[in-house]
Amino acid sequence: MDYDKTFHFVNKTKNNTIAAQGWIAFNALQRMRGLLGYENLDKGQGLLLKPGSSIHMQGMKFPLDIIFVDKSMNVVKVVEDLKPEPRWKLWKMIFGGWKAHACLELPVGTIQETQTEVGDIIHFYENIEKLSG
């Protein structure tokens, strides 16, 4: 991924890791690109589109689990195993609802594995690598 920092995403309600290596797309260009052009998203990875209350799967090469959160990072909607849409098909938008503020894109199976559900609270922390000296 073309991002300067990585983040650790945690489901504070369930006390488990959602993504140990995640990225945040803050600017419009990063959010528009999202995961387009990538071949896959490895287990333990994730991309937060912030802000981002809706997404599309047009031209994607792999399915995703999606967690929509509000401004306080409370889960407002989950979508499991969202399939890619062919490029020739009309765009289909997936909306997180009127409370959704951001969207966390994850490998399929993450929602089930972490038992993430509406009402859970998500936190994220910047990954800081220890310097050896």
Is residue 53 in some structural domain?
Answer: yes
Residue 2 lies in a domain: no
Q: Which residues share a beta bridge with 96?
A: none
Q: With respect to residue 133, please indicate whether it lies within any of the assigned structural domains.
A: no
Structural domain of 105:
7-126
- Asked if residue 131 belongs to a domain, the reply is no
User: Is residue 89 in a domain?
Assistant: yes
CA distance 122 to 120: 7
123 forms bridges with which residues in the sheet?
10
| Length of the chain measured in residues | 133
Say if 94 falls within a structural domain.
yes
> CATH no. for residue 78?
2.60.120.1140
Note whether residue 77 is domain-resident: yes
26-45 pLDDT, tens digit per residue, is: 777 666 766 666 778 999 99
- Output the six-digit token pair for 82: 């969202």
pLDDT in tens, 41-63: 999 999 999 998 988 887 778 89
Number of structural domains found in the chain: 1
Q: Find the mean pLDDT for residues 106-121.
A: 98
C-alpha distances in Å from residue 88, one per residue of 13, 53, 91, 118: 40, 24, 9, 33
Written as one string, the DSSP assignment of 8-37 is EEEETTTTEEEEEEEEEE-SHHHHHHTTTT
Q: What is the pLDDT of residue 45?
A: 94
For residue 133, give every residue at least 6 positions away whose Cβ sits within 8 Å of its Cβ, in sequence order, or none. none
Does a structural domain hold residue 16?
Answer: yes
